[in-house]
Amino acid sequence: MVYVALISYTPDPERTIAAAARVSASPAGASQLMQKLTPQAVDRLLTRLISSGHLSVFEHASFTFAIEGISRVTSHQLVRHRMASYTQQSQRYVSLKDFDYITPATIGAKHDLKARYQEMVHAAHSLYLEMLDAGIPAEDARYVLPQAGETKLVMTMNARELIHVCALRLCLRAQWEIVELFEKVKAEVERVAPRLGAELKPKCYRLGYCDEAVSCGIFPTAAEIAERKTKELTSGKG
Amino acid sequence: MVYVALISYTPDPERTIAAAARVSASPAGASQLMQKLTPQAVDRLLTRLISSGHLSVFEHASFTFAIEGISRVTSHQLVRHRMASYTQQSQRYVSLKDFDYITPATIGAKHDLKARYQEMVHAAHSLYLEMLDAGIPAEDARYVLPQAGETKLVMTMNARELIHVCALRLCLRAQWEIVELFEKVKAEVERVAPRLGAELKPKCYRLGYCDEAVSCGIFPTAAEIAERKTKELTSGKG
Amino acid sequence: MVYVALISYTPDPERTIAAAARVSASPAGASQLMQKLTPQAVDRLLTRLISSGHLSVFEHASFTFAIEGISRVTSHQLVRHRMASYTQQSQRYVSLKDFDYITPATIGAKHDLKARYQEMVHAAHSLYLEMLDAGIPAEDARYVLPQAGETKLVMTMNARELIHVCALRLCLRAQWEIVELFEKVKAEVERVAPRLGAELKPKCYRLGYCDEAVSCGIFPTAAEIAERKTKELTSGKG
Amino acid sequence: MVYVALISYTPDPERTIAAAARVSASPAGASQLMQKLTPQAVDRLLTRLISSGHLSVFEHASFTFAIEGISRVTSHQLVRHRMASYTQQSQRYVSLKDFDYITPATIGAKHDLKARYQEMVHAAHSLYLEMLDAGIPAEDARYVLPQAGETKLVMTMNARELIHVCALRLCLRAQWEIVELFEKVKAEVERVAPRLGAELKPKCYRLGYCDEAVSCGIFPTAAEIAERKTKELTSGKG
């Protein structure tokens, strides 16, 4: 079960972003601008920055999360986002006496398969423990462990990258576990920075269409939009 | 079994690096410098750049490798190096009819454990195939697969990052599988850029000591060096 | 006068990108895929990758340019793009006996201003030379030099970043000198990788509208599009 | 005159780094670790991380600075450090009615040259203003402005990059203006994170020798150390 806690972040993140943005087109310096900006001005400025794609200023605010209860399947996907910092629990240096793991809902829904899935995971973990007892190092014994195994990590990501990653990972075509992870990341950000949190959304909301091969239904694909237009033109003629 | 093939790279990588370096302190441009540099001048320049730590110019040459036969344990470690580009075989979109996997040598050496390890891996893969047949999507069925499973990927890394990553991953304190991987990466680079290839070596060769807690024996740790010096001074007095 | 020469690049860049992309969803490895892909398959694949936004594979091809004849105004803008490698002629270590500089066309068009601009630049350079003679280090004397002064550099950028930077810097709202620079960069890429070169274009071509405050005329802004739609609806009612 | 103010930073930066580091080798999660770590434990852990080169965890704390009063010479050097975020006052969108500028001490020390330097800078700024009046856009008029002109910016850098950049830029072989800048950056960090601040120091303190061509005197170069050893051995024989 995914657990996400925001353990640290740039204080007053939206104002920090707004003050930085103002420096670009103002004769005043940032210290001064930090004080003068009203909440309304911050809000208006963030809206304008996003609609015009001036996203680099969003790098000035960053967020550090404690993440637990995700599978190694998902942590492997997660760390592919390179514009962030990760520190992950090591399977080389930590021996896993207990083995927490994820059961995908599709498997959980089939009673018989679920039982056999759980047995298999437990059997693999038992062999892992036995190998440790036989003197196999943890770093080697772990090869037998299923990818379902849970991991813990600390992740720091700036607001620009959060916008980018959420665009990809809140898309319902992403795998369900990483969608859940970023829904919780979004909730944590929204708690302390509501304006920014509102911008953490799937890419289709920004594009106005779905750029995947098959749409989840929220927005039509570009091909479907083109088809509709053709139909409208044709039916208009008749 | 790790397989590494250099499938593409910046042609004449050492000369490209040297020409770029010359631009920094010369009134001439790079096109001109590319032609004028002799192999000896390239060699001397690279030596000087490395000893003085001017490594940014090494970014101008990059190398693209096809990598196969590494476990998901190792690919998860590998992609933590963020200054590189990776494209990995997806377990979401590829169903693994066959399941190639790695057996660590420590397990392989114990006859009984090896047999049970292999049985466990095969049992997990059988359940995976059965789940596919029962309509479980590949992206979910894979949760039962052991981390020993092999993966394929394409990796592009520039020469500066290769020097950095090899310093860490050719260290014998790194896990054996990633050491093997970078030994083959080094061999591939050496084939086309011997001067550069020679710089792909564990960090201790550069530091002159081992900065790990326990040394593998090539170099003493900083603490051991300090201890020896104290002894020398003491015995000298006696 | 901007001069751009492609001095090195990943051989067969489009095929390298396509082979990497195939690895993601194929049981075959990259070496094999490199050989099997026809030019038509490469072309189709690149088109699909771009339309679906799968741009990370474009990082596997990179391009190294010798750039000369750009002002320090422009080099300062250029190096703000961080996903690239630069080696620039140093004003600390190179004394500028001759001083090549850029004259903006708006100044060049006004006969009197142009003359005074040139006089000022020459006077500044004369004082620079005099300071060198008086023993002032080049790194300090250069403070008097105008930003118009030309610089040389070597830049390596991968194809993904080239697509991104051209989207911003071929926009006619970017400053003319950096537009010129990237028009030449595009021409050099097109020469060796026409399919990729065709993707180096201003952001509006991808967005379908202009996201700047005022459009250059190629595409209307989002606000103008909304306004037109309102008018169409209103006039339709009449 | 360089002005640096820390306007925002990860609260409790050293504890955040330490908690992240502990996650790597502990069965506990980060939230828990944040609370349990004593100041002494934090201190000891940071010392160990630095001596063993485990620097990635230092990325979890970042610092945002308002920087003013540096020349465009220095801002051009500064933004070459790519693992950081910058927002700089634009000379395209801000017309510089007043022109603040830097006078290098070597020029300031020579009475006659100083006067002529100042005259030249003022003359260039006057022509700039005149060009604005004549309708030349600020983005073009600025070509005549000397590089001595001051700029303002906001910079966000994480602790790992601060350690790296200070190693290079606090070296007395770096240019005096950027040395001054990072001395003030260090002072600001030391104020809120003394343990970390103490690690912001020139590279020679870490290397134990100077890797520049000529030493400033703090540490001998590697060549000088080798020479001394030879002499000691020789004189010992005599």
CA-nearest residue of chain A to D93?
A: A25
Domain shared by C8 and C60, yes or no: yes
Q: Please report which confidence band the pLDDT of residue B238 belongs to, taking 50, 70 and 90 as the band edges.
A: very low
Nearest to B107 among A91, A124, A131 (CB): A131
Between A20, A24, A87, which is nearest D57 by CB?
A87
With respect to residue A191, please indicate whether it lies within any of the assigned structural domains: yes
Nearest alpha carbon to residue B191 among B6, B50, B3, B2? B6
Task: Evaluate whether residue D27 is within a structural domain.
Answer: yes
- Out of A30, A68, A94, the one facing D7 most closely (by C-beta) is A30
CB C181 within 8 A of CB D154: no
Q: Give the distance, in angstroms, between the CA of residue B121 and the centroid of all CA atoms in the same chain.
A: 27
Residue B59: give its domain's CATH number.
Answer: 3.30.1360.170
At A132, the amino acid letter reads L
Instruction: Count CB neighbours of D34 within 10 A.
Output: 21
Query: Looking at beta carbons, which residues of chain C come within 8 Å of D122?
Result: none
User: What integer pLDDT is reported at residue A238 of this predicted model?
Assistant: 43
Could you say which of D22, D72, D142, D169 is catalytic?
D169
Question: How big is chain C by its Cα radius of gyration, in Å?
Answer: 23
**Contact between C141 and D92 using a beta-carbon 8 Å cutoff:** no
Assigned domain for C92 exists = no
The set of catalytic residues of B is: 169
pLDDT computed for residue B67 by the predictor: 96
- How far apart CA B168 and CA B161 sit, in angstroms, is 11
Q: How many CB atoms lie within 10 A of CB B92?
A: 16
Residue carrying the six token digits 């657990």: A3
Q: Which residues of D touch A30 (CB under 8 A)?
A: 5, 7, 66, 152, 154
Examine the domain organization and report whether D11 and D81 are in the same domain: yes
d(CA A191, CA D32): 20
User: Chains contacting C with at least 3 CB pairs below 8 Å?
Assistant: A, B, D
Q: Is the torsion defined by CA of A33, A35, A41, A42 positive or negative?
A: positive
Residue D238 has pLDDT above 60, yes or no: no
Residue A148 confidence (pLDDT) above 50: yes
For residue B158, tell me if it sits in a domain. yes
Checking if the pLDDT of B236 tops 80, the result is no
How far apart, in Å, do the first and last CA atoms of chain B sit? Answer: 56
Confirm whether pTM is higher than 0.80: yes
Position D11 in a domain: yes
Cite the DSSP H helix spans in chain B: 13-24, 30-36, 39-51, 72-78, 105-108, 111-133, 138-141, 159-169, 176-192, 194-197, 203-207, 222-237
Q: Which two tokens stand for residue D25?
A: 């080798």
**Cα dihedral B8, B12, B13, B14 in deg (nearest 10):** 160
D20 pLDDT band (50/70/90 cuts)? very high
Q: Give residue C26's region: left, alpha or beta (phi > 0; psi -120 to 50).
A: beta
C72, C160, C169, C195: which one is catalytic? C169
Of B140, B142, B178, which to mutate for an interface test with A (greatest number of A Cβ within 10 Å)? B140
Q: Are C76 and C155 found together in one domain? A: yes
C-beta atoms of D222 and B51 within 8 A: yes
Chain A residues with at least one Cβ partner in B under 8 Å: 71-73, 75-76, 79-80, 82-83, 86, 91-92, 101-104, 106-107, 110, 113, 116-117, 120-121, 123-124, 127, 130-131, 134, 136-137, 139-149, 175
C72 and C167: one domain?
yes
Q: Indicate whether D125 and D162 sit together in one domain.
A: no
pLDDT, tens digit, 9 for 90 and up, residues A82-124: 999 999 999 998 899 999 999 999 999 999 999 999 999 999 9
Phi first, then psi: give them for residue B29, nearest 5 degrees: -95, 175
CB atoms within 10 A of CB B117: 27
Q: Do A203 and C53 touch (CB under 8 A)?
A: yes
Residues D140 and D232 in one domain: no
B8 and B77 housed in the same domain: yes
Instruction: State the nearest Cα–Cα gap between A168 and chain C, in angstroms.
Output: 10
Q: Are residues A215 and A163 in the same domain?
A: no
- The whole-angstrom distance between residue A115's C-alpha and the CA centroid of its chain comes to 30
Instruction: Measure A208 CA to nearest chain D CA, in Å.
Output: 29
Average pLDDT, chain A: 94
Strands across the sheet with C3-9, in order? C3-9, C62-71, C150-158, C84-88
In a domain, D105, yes or no: no
Instruction: Give the tens place of pLDDT for each residue, C85-140.
Output: 999 999 998 899 999 999 999 999 999 999 999 999 999 999 999 999 999 999 99
D59 and D73 in a single domain? The answer is yes
The closest of B195, B199, B188, B200 to B155, measured between CA atoms, is B188
Residue in D closest to B53 by C-alpha: D211
Residue A73 and residue A178 in one domain? yes
C169 is catalytic: yes
Question: Which of D48, D52, D158 to mutate to probe the B interface, most B CBs <10 Å?
Answer: D52
Q: Is the ipTM of this complex over 0.90?
A: yes
Q: What is the pLDDT of residue C237?
A: 53
Residue of D17, D56, D89 to mutate, testing the A interface (most A Cβ within 10 Å of its Cβ): D89
**Sheet strands (E) in D82-215:** 84-88, 150-158
C224 and C182 assigned to the same domain? no
Which tokens belong to C114? Answer: 């142009």
Shortest alpha-carbon distance between residue B149 and chain A (Å): 8
Of A9, A31, A156, the CB nearest to D5: A31
From A25, A27, A60, residue closest to D154, measured CB to CB: A60
* Pick from C72, C96, B54: nearest CA to D71: C72
The pLDDT of residue C109 is: 97
What is the band of C179 on the pLDDT scale with cuts at 50, 70, 90? very high
- Cα distances (angstroms) measured from residue D127 to each of C119, C177, C180: 11, 21, 26
pLDDT band at C174 (very low <50, low <70, confident <90, very high): very high
Q: Looking at the 3D structure of chain A, how many domains does it have?
A: 3
Q: Which domain holds residue D82?
A: 3-86+150-203
Q: What is the pLDDT at residue C236? A: 62
Distance CA A204, CA A225 (A): 13
- Using CB atoms, list chains with 3+ pairs below 8 Å to chain A: B, C, D
Q: Is the pLDDT of residue A237 over 70?
A: no
Q: Is residue A91 part of a domain?
A: no
Q: D191 and D79: one domain?
A: yes
pLDDT (tens digit, 9 = 90+) per residue, D182-224?
999 999 999 999 999 999 999 999 888 998 888 999 999 988 8
Mean residue pLDDT of chain C comes to 94
Q: How many beta-carbon pairs under 8 angstroms link B with C?
A: 135
Sign, CA torsion C22/C26/C29/C33: negative
Chain segment C3-23, per-residue pLDDT in tens:
999 999 999 999 999 999 998
Å between A119 CA and nearest CA of chain B: 10
Number of alpha carbons in the 13 Å side-chain half-sphere of residue A132: 17
Closest alpha carbon to C189 in C211, C218, C156: C156
Nearest chain A residue to C50, by CA: A211
Measured distance CA(D23)–CA(D60) in Å, rounded: 13
Out of D79, D107, D142, closest to residue C73 by CB? D142
Per-residue pLDDT tens for A153-201? 999 999 999 999 999 999 999 999 999 999 999 999 999 999 999 999 9
Return the structure tokens found at C8: 């090195």
User: Strand A84-88 and strand A3-9: pairing?
Assistant: unpaired
Please give the Cα distance from A137 to A155 (Å, whole number): 28
Q: Is residue C168 part of a domain?
A: yes
**A151-to-A72, B116, B161 alpha-carbon distances in Å:** 6, 25, 27
D-chain CB neighbours of B212 within 8 Å are 52
